[in-house]
Chain A
Amino acid sequence: MPAYRNVRLCGKDCLCLYVCPTGATDTENSIIDVAKCIPGCMACVDACPSSAISMLPDKYPPPQIKMDTVIMAQRVLGQSKVQQEKIAETIATLSDSPVTRQFAKAIAKSNRCMAEDILREAGYMLPQSTKVRKLIEILIENAPAGFPKDAAELLLNKLQKIVV
């Protein structure tokens, strides 16, 4: 459980610098040095007057089970949003009008946000979950041409399995 500082909340009051036994909080880019941080120490979390530091969990419990009807209904919408994104992107590259291109770009971005959120709620919330691992495994097995296999394999190796 390493500490993590939310730079946006940090008021640079520097109490964490005084209490950290290893100097992990004292970095020029404000990101706490995970290599130096003592797991479970929490001294900086307690000291910070701005509540800017929290401990990142090492393990995650298995996520809520999703029902098939929910998954299917979310996917119908997710697909629709992905297609709308694609249409908007096409217009954003092909239109002659800069204003239309700008509006289409906004619509594309908006649809990506919605598709991500809707499909996350179809059971793909947690990167470490069994369902996500399965998806990556299937992708590797059926790897189409040009598929970034290295990236997929890195994910299988690095993402911790959930212990049930």
Chain B
Amino acid sequence: MRKFKCSICGYVYDEAAGIPEKGIAPETKWENLSDKFICPTCTAPKMAFQLLNEAPDQTTVLSTDNSNKFIETIAELSAGEISAICSSLAKGCEKQRLTEEMDSFKKLADYFKIKTTPIQQNTTLHDIIKMLEKDLNQSFSVANKAAKANADRGAQRSLMWSEKVSTMTKSLLERFTKEGDLMLKNTNVYVCDICGLITIGDTPPDVCPVCKVPNFKITKIERD
């Protein structure tokens, strides 16, 4: 009997135990669980689970040589980066109750957001999946290594959150490619204001499964 761990919230599905209260009998094999199976604590889809013990240690598997070259070629801050830096500084000012400064950073953020290189009109959600693959297979492990090597706890924390959020988004996108609009038709979509985790469900989680913020910081995304 094996165990599978949710990569988002850490919940462990134990084949031996099943989840009787959800109608999953003990000794139910992972492959016999429905594709619609979701994590009982955070609603992550089935593909967000990893077999315990055999979890690959990505930091050793991936060579960093190429990736380091790749990051050295980036010099100046792009408009998109400046925009995100300014909108985050606006939030920083809000916490310090510096209203005028907050507004000014917002103005800068909006300005550079418009300046961000426009995307070709025929892009699809699939392009996001491709970028997420690169993030998850390469960029996160490079960044994690750098943050660890320099004992940068703040960077490590930000990477841990966004890696989980990215994993969740990728699996939701893959489901969406198969199920299409039906996936969301009769339910709601929520985004955590703090870490960005997307959850699907009739109600938001009580606390965000990734960053643990209470749900008054979780926003419902309306359909227009």
Could you tell me which A residues sit within 8 Å of B by CB distance?
4, 8, 34, 56, 64, 66-67, 69-70, 72-88, 90-91, 94, 97-107, 109-122, 124-127, 132, 135, 139, 144, 146-148, 151-152, 154-155, 158-159
Contact = CB atoms under 8 A, between A and B. Distances in A.
Interface range on chain B (Cβ under 8 Å from partner): 35 or more
13 contacts: A66-B152, A70-B146, A77-B162, A84-B132, A90-B121, A102-B221, A107-B198, A113-B193, A120-B92, A122-B155, A124-B85, A144-B115, A151-B104
Interface of A is mostly: helix
B158 A121 contact: yes
Interface of B: 70-72, 74, 77-78, 80-85, 87-89, 91-93, 96-98, 100-101, 103-105, 107-108, 111, 115-119, 121, 123-125, 127-128, 131-132, 134-135, 139-140, 142-143, 145-147, 149-150, 152, 154-155, 157-159, 161-162, 165-166, 169, 173, 176, 181, 184-185, 189-198, 216, 219, 221-224
B68 to A, nearest CB: 8
Contact of A67 (B84, B146, B161): B146
B88 A119 contact: yes
Contact of B100 (A74, A121, A158): A158
A140 B128 CA distance: 33
A81 to B, nearest CB: 7
Contacts of B150: 67, 69-70
